[in-house]
């Protein structure tokens, strides 16, 4: 398999859409970790910024927070596995 050469930002998209591109476990782990942390922060910010409502974090938000933590932990566990295909 030939190595992909990326010249610019458009090349990244072209490389990802090529037939030779595969997600590595490291790349998938990084994506999952970033989405998990970002989702966790976003869920907390929704509760903090919604000042007109009382009641705090409800059951649906707790489930979503738990899902984001699990997603981040699974992503963090994939990162050390390296360049093996996902």
User: What DSSP string runs through 7-60?
Assistant: -SHHHHHHHHHSTT---BHHHHHHHHHHHHHHHHHHHHHHHHH-TT--S-S-HH
Residue 36 lies in a domain: yes
Residue 28 lies in a domain: yes
Residue 11 lies in a domain: no
Rg value, the chain, Cα: 18
pLDDT value of residue 1: 45
pLDDT value of residue 51: 62
Domain with 47, as residue range(s), is 23-81
pLDDT digits (tens, 9 = 90+) for 14-60: 776 777 777 888 889 999 999 999 999 998 888 778 765 666 788 88
pLDDT digits (tens, 9 = 90+) for 62-86: 999 999 999 999 999 999 988 877 7
Q: Please answer whether residues 4 and 21 qualify as being in contact, where contact means their C-beta atoms are separated by less than 8 angstroms.
A: yes
CA dist., res. 74 & res. 25, Å (int):
11
CA dist., res. 52 & res. 50, Å (int):
6
User: Can you read off the two tokens belonging to residue 84?
Assistant: 């093996």
Residue 27 lies in a domain: yes
Verdict on whether the full-model pTM lies above 0.85: no
Residue 3 lies in a domain: no
């Amino acid at each position: 398999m030939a190595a992909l050469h990326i010249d610019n930002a458009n090349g990244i998209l072209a490389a990802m859409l090529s037939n030779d591109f595969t997600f590595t476990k490291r790349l998938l782990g990084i994506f999952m970790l970033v989405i998990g942390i970002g989702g966790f922060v976003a869920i907390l910010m929704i509760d903090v910024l919604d000042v007109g409502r009382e009641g705090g974090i409800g059951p649906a938000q707790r489930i979503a927070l738990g899902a984001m933590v699990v997603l981040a932990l699974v992503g963090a566990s994939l990162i050390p596995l390296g360049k093996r295909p996902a």
